[in-house]
Amino acid sequence: MELDLRRQGLALLLALLLGAGIGLAYDLLRPPRRRLGPLAGALLDLLFSAASGCAAFTYAMGVGDGRLGIWALGAALSGFLLYMHSLSAPLLGLFTRLLDILCAGAAAAKKTAARLLASSKKALAPVRKWFSQARARLGRKKAPSPAGGEEDKGCRRTSFFGSWSRR
């Protein structure tokens, strides 16, 4: 009997932790939901619901021997509410600041990449001009064909993946 009580107490504690973990996942998804708009928010809500359902199912299969009792759902709800009323406010502020830092870093990286692209276009313009001129010079030279006095018009590729065609 004592072993059974110990196991039930552990199951109750795990259900409380499950609820707190679901609350933490909810807080992790709150800042992106606010930033990304209603459609992405709905997709994140769907993701959260599916993950919460999977977590409850896994809990029921592992701890509850395939059954999810009302007491386990009540304990998970209690863990969720305990988290939301105690740790949610400070952690939500932290998660929001972390997302702000990530967005600022991404914006700085995008700006740096745009600057590098612009400077590389300027730096590589003479090289592009040289290749254009070299291609034009090669296009003007026509070698006599081996069959007779006709000039070979050469072959060119119509596209990168396309077929070869006569000029």
In this structure, are residues 75 and 16 in contact, taking their beta carbons and an 8 Å threshold? yes
Pairwise CA distance, residues 161 & 49, whole Å: 45
CB-based contacts of 119, cutoff 8 Å, min separation 6: none
Give pLDDT tens digits for 71-104: 888 999 999 999 999 999 999 999 999 999 999 9
Sequence spans of domains, the chain: 8-120
Give pLDDT tens digits for 7-63: 888 889 999 999 999 999 999 999 999 988 899 999 999 999 999 999 988 988 888
Q: Name the 3-class secondary structure at 21.
A: helix
**pTM summary value:** 0.64
In this structure, are residues 59 and 18 in contact, taking their beta carbons and an 8 Å threshold? yes
